[in-house]
Chain A
Amino acid sequence: MSTLDASGVTDLESLRADFPILGTRLHGDSVPLVYLDNAASTQRPRAVIDALVSVYEKQYANVHRGIHWLSDQSTDLYEEAREKVRRFINAPARECVIFTHGTTESINTVARSWVEAHLKPGDEILLNEMEHHSNLVPWQQAAERCGVKLRYIPLADDGRLDMARLDEVLTGRTKILAVTAISNVLGTVNPVAELVRRAHDVGAVALIDAAQHVPHCATDVEAWDADFVAFSGHKMMGPSGVGVLYGKRERLDAMPPFLGGGSMIRRVQLESFEPADLPAKFEAGTPPIVPAIGLGAAIDYLERVGMERIHRHEAMLTKYAHRRLGEIKGLRLLGPDLEHKAGIISFVVEKIHAHDVAQLLDRKGVAVRAGHHCTMPLHRRLKVSASTRASVYLYNTTAEIDAMIDGLIEAQRIFRR
């Protein structure tokens, strides 16, 4: 197993060799792939790819159904994956870990089931402008259905939540606080534990969108004391199509099932049904069996490397990227200072639209995201129509940041003929 060291290029080279796709060369073999779009989705190590192939070749059947050997094999692996997730986020019990199809479905489950069971007209849901559309739209839909009101924590100019003004919007009427642990555009690391405590102080429950947190830093849902936590497999080297909803047992018990169908029932009559116990209650239909097992393999890999080291490596890359980007005239970094920021680096370049930046970086093999990154309200708040985002992961190198810088200099040369 390779190891990772922020300063040890040799170790990083051997880690990179674990990821087959990172050896890709583009544009007629002229440039290596420089993958800096990890906040959108990450790449998989061989160990995860092998785990997927192995299940399909040797151990695949539907889970929790068949009275046959293969189904037992598959069920064991699926439940083992649940236990790996539980341990990885320090959840108190296996039943509190629900497999969904992604962060979006996890948030929708709560926005539908908890809101319908517990909120009444006049109640409020507290959001903020930095949220991804997946942590805005489900609440807008809930508000429309149930006549509840949406409020927003003000965003300070440095891209952090204005905690000094939290009291203005977090009141006895607030029933749910939904907030991201790390902004997918600004990289802002929010004070999750404090936000949860403040929500509990007024009797609200707290949902944390941890899609950009769980893959990059050690996550402890008990230390957060969060009522609900949502994240996705594909942003942490697992397959797409699997996500997690963690919920405190008493919260999950106190809300009705979201989707109806097979698996989520104890018994069914023609007119009615009785829901199954946790976690099956929220896993209607055939679950993402192999993606969940693949997520378990990704967690094994992350644990072998170590979350602390991953976090340190990303902090080093982010610092380096800030320094190098600072050398580029007319480039404006979005988001807070390094101390309050994760490895998500968004910027705008004077006189060059983000799509043109991304297109010209692509020529150098550099993959970044351009646009509004599913945060249209945030971009309106920042008064930019689009931005370019580079986001790092454990396998990125300073040389790759340099490749992006070279691409940016080239882009400016083209536009400043």
Chain B
Amino acid sequence: MPADEEEIYQEHVLDHYEDPYHRGHCPGATHRHMDDNPLCGDFVQVELRIGDDGRVEEAYFDGDGCCISQASASMVTEKLEGRTVEEVRAFTAEQMLELFGARLTPNRQKCCLLPWRVWQAAVFSRANNNDGGEKTA
């Protein structure tokens, strides 16, 4: 068994994977973005309701993929909900990897950073209706 900091499948990672924070659709979403990692087929969608004051009032994600991508989607959604758009923009890839906790090889970092990337784009991707997005895992 690898040393603790190298253990990808730590309790908190598996917790997020099996019991994710806000998986589903965001009621009254104002912003939505989806992206995938064609190499492995993982995809993540993020839906946000951003208030007039520029604050993310509520955030949901959906998706399909490996434990890393889906757990990190849950983590980043829990972390950034309630923040302002500026604060979301200021949240760096390094901070995302740190939030994830377990040390990842460059290949698996891509899995971890996919939801972060989707979040970064979502705050600029206005949803034109409340159709609730394209895919549900």
Contacts and interface: CB of A to CB of B under 8 A. Distances in A.
B40 interface: yes
A354 B65 CA distance: 9
A355 B1 contact: no
A353 B67 CA distance: 7
Contact of B66 (A27, A353, A417): A353
A414 B41 contact: no
Interface stretch (A69-77, A94-102, A356-364): A356-364
Interface in B1-28: 1-2, 8-9, 14, 18
B89 interface: no
Contacts of B111: 355
B41 A385 contact: yes
Contact of B41 (A356, A359, A360, A371): A371
B65 A360 contact: no
A417 B67 contact: no
Given A363-B1, A386-B41, A414-B14, A355 B66 contact: yes
B2 A372 contact: no
Measured as residues with beta carbon below 8 angstroms from the partner, the interface class of chain B is 10 to 19
A372 B8 CA distance: 22
Given A371-B39, A414-B14, A363 B65 contact: no
Interface residues of A, number: 19
Contact of B64 (A385, A414, A417): A385
- Output the residue of B40, B42, B111 with the most chain A CB within 10 A: B40
A386 B42 CA distance: 9
Interface in B29-60: 38-42
A363 B66 contact: no
Contacts of A312: none
B108 interface: yes
Contacts of A371: 39-41
B2 A363 contact: yes
Contacts of B14: 414-415, 417
Given A355-B40, A363-B2, A385 B9 contact: no
B2 A385 contact: no
Interface of B: 1-2, 8-9, 14, 18, 38-42, 64-68, 108, 111
Q: Which 4 A-B pairs have the closest CB atoms?
A: A385-B41, A353-B66, A355-B66, A356-B67
